[in-house]
Structure 1
Amino acid sequence: MLGARSRNKPPGAPIGVDPSRTAVRLTRVTKRYGRGPDAAAALDDVSTSIAAGGFTAVMGPSGSGKSTFLHCAAGLDRPTSGTVQLGGQVLGELDEKRLTRFRRTRVGFVFQAFNLLPSLTVEQNITLPLRLAGAGTDHDSVHGVTAAVGLTGLLDRRPSQLSGGQQQRVAIARALITRPEVIFADEPTGALDPDTADGILTLLRRAVTDLHQTVVMVTHDPVAAQRTDQVLFLAEGRLVRRVESPSAAEVTSVMTELRRSR
């Protein structure tokens, strides 16, 4: 089982959320592609903060800037202007080598395509961030994480021997193994059937509730979004709305409104 850690929670705050500590802060972030008059702004002067210990969805119509938001917030891409702060570290202050090391140890990633190395076993894929960072492998932690995501007995298998849902569980375990500041998930259920997707969302929810991890998830699915604590809506590169304790119906309504206003 995922081990719980107790934390004080002010009245009305989602379980685990620590509003006194910011996990991610974007300040006037703009990201442009191209140069001159033909340059396109994927993000346009976006400012927001995400409290530690919460589950946040990022949504918007196609081309709204969702993936660019995630890439800039996670340090996978650098903004054209503005600042990104993750776990107290201003990412723009780090050169490429230090930024890579920071991502390995303090940021977790879960992608739609799983991104597992086919030649490695389940255990080797999970512990890859530790080995790349030159850190030792704590076998108790490995077995605790794999048990929590339902991979007990599968550590010696290769990705090709796993179902899609099992491969995504490996990716989640790999994201959890370093106990990062934030886990960024980009359409983590997009390639899965509804029942398997529900299991993956349950794991991400438990990572937040039981381990007090911070999860930021890009999704197009209102059903997935209703499992989160809040939804940030983007449109044409701008942050246009924030909805707390979302329902699928409310998310669908906002998305319909945004598509009609384009």
Structure 2
Amino acid sequence: MLQARSRKKNTPADIPAPDARTGSAVRLTQVTKRYGDGASAAVALDGVSIGIQSATFTAVMGPSGSGKSTFLQCAAGLDRPTSGTVQLGGQDLAELSENKLTEYRRTRIGFVFQAFNLLPSLTVEQNITLPLRLAGAAAESASVDSVAAGVGLFGLLRRRPTELSGGQQQRVAIARALITRPEVVFADEPTGALDPDTAQDILHLLRQAVTDLHQTVVMVTHDPVAAQHTDRVIFLDAGRVVHRVDRPSADQVKRVMTELRGAR
């Protein structure tokens, strides 16, 4: 079981603290993202307005080209929308300079990717603590041991990524995402490179992060089986939110995805 730890943040003093009154860990308001100009412009997001509650597990799904990746990039502050606002932890990301936004991502946002994105020259422990070190914060041994044990890595901290299985590498990525106790963990197809049994283990860990640590997890996925581990599925098509399902089952998700593909 993942162990709850202190919510103390190692963040720059001049970045405002999250506003707990909003109730939303992430809120997009009339967010539009266009690539290009004029008649040839491609609209990836088209006036998206949605809030994602704190301490919930949300899946973002849709057909190819529906805007899932752009949604994640804008919501996580990796890309700026053409118009509209993105608030994360009560902070309007548009109010932050590029440097402050980078600091914010390091300490308030966790990322888990399909390709793991670990540094092969670093040990497991060094990969886990990388966000803290980049932010100039000290990594407490007790916190590292706790998060490593919580994701099943205790005893492996001195190994390097090449000495681990794919599932173990993704566990390192999850531990790295959790080490700063971020406002939100964004996961982009986190089980896409894993076999079904290992994928279930990773999804269970993400579910535990929500249940045990009260983290907020937003996961882009194409897999209905993965989606059934979440509290809610948001469906996108043509850059718009077109459907939502609470407490989803794999069959429900499959039906909605089939309808969306058939409507094209």
TM-score between the two structures when normalised by the length of structure 1: 0.94
Deviation digits for residues 110-133 of structure 1 (CA, Å, limit 9, x no counterpart)? 000000001000000000000000
Pair 1:174–1:4, CA change in 2 (3 A): closer
Q: Distance in 2 between matches of 1:60 and 1:22?
A: 22
Matches of residues 93-104 of structure 1 in structure 2 within 5 Å? Answer: 93-104=95-106
Q: Deviations over 1:134-153 (max 9, x none)?
A: 00111100000000000011
Provide the rounded CA distance (Å) in 1 between the counterparts of 2:92 and 2:219.
21
Note if contact 1:26-1:46 (Cα within 8 Å) is conserved in structure 2: yes
Match of 2:156 in 1: 154
Q: Distance in 1 between matches of 2:77 and 2:139?
A: 25
Could you tell me how far apart the structure 2 residues matched to 1:163 and 1:196 are?
Answer: 10
Q: For residues 1-262 of structure 1, what are the structure 2 equivalents within 5 Å?
A: 1-3=1-3, 21-262=23-264
How far does residue 82 in structure 1 lie from its aligned partner after superposition? 0.3
**Could you tell me the percent identity over the aligned residues?**
76
Please tell me whether the aligned partners of residues 25 and 50 of structure 1 are also in contact (alpha carbons under 8 angstroms). yes
Give the AA of the match of 2:237: A
Are the equivalent residues in 2 in contact too, given 1:151–1:170 (CA < 8 A)?
Answer: yes
Q: Provide the rounded CA distance (Å) in 1 between the counterparts of 2:150 and 2:250.
A: 27
Aligned equivalents of 1:250, 1:46: Cα separation in 2: 23
1:63-84, CA deviations, whole angstroms, 9 ceiling, x for partnerless residues? Answer: 0000000000000000000000
The answer to whether the 8 Å contact 1:19/1:51 transfers is no
Q: TM-score, normalised by structure 2?
A: 0.93
Structure 1: unaligned runs, 5 residues or longer: 6-17
* CA gap 1:105/1:4 in 2 versus in 1, 3 angstroms: closer
Q: Which one-letter code corresponds to 2:105 in the other structure?
A: R
Single out whichever of 19-28 and 234-243 deviates more from structure 2. Answer: 19-28
1:186 and 1:208 map into 2 onto residues whose CA distance is 17
Structure 2 CA distance for aligned equivalents of residues 3 and 141 of structure 1 = 10
How many aligned positions are there?
250
Q: CA RMSD in A?
A: 1.2
In structure 2, what is the equivalent of residue 9 of structure 1?
none
Displacement after TM superposition at 1:20 (Å): 6.3
1:175-224 deviation per Cα after TM superposition (whole angstroms, max 9, x unaligned): 00000000000000000000000000000000000000000000000000
**Cα deviation digits, residues 88-115 of structure 1 (max 9, x gap):** 1000011100000000000000000000
Compute the displacement of 1:4 (Å): 5.0
Shift of 1:3: 2.7
Contact in 1 for aligned 2:2/2:150 (Cα 8 Å): yes
SS in 1 for 2:193: coil
How far does the alpha carbon of each residue in 1:151-183 deviate from its partner, in whole angstroms, 9 at most, with x for none?
011000110000000000000000000000000
Alpha-carbon distance in 2 for matches of 1:237, 1:213: 27
Distance 1:74 1:107 in 2: 7
What is the CA-CA distance between 1:25 and the residue it aligns to? Answer: 0.2
Shift of the 87–19 alpha-carbon distance from structure 1 to 2, 3 Å rule, reads: closer
The runs of 5 or more residues in structure 2 that have no matched partner are 6-19
Q: Secondary structure at the match of 1:246?
A: coil
Cα distance change on mapping 1:162 and 1:24 into 2, 3 Å: same
Q: Give the secondary structure class of the aligned counterpart of 2:200.
A: helix
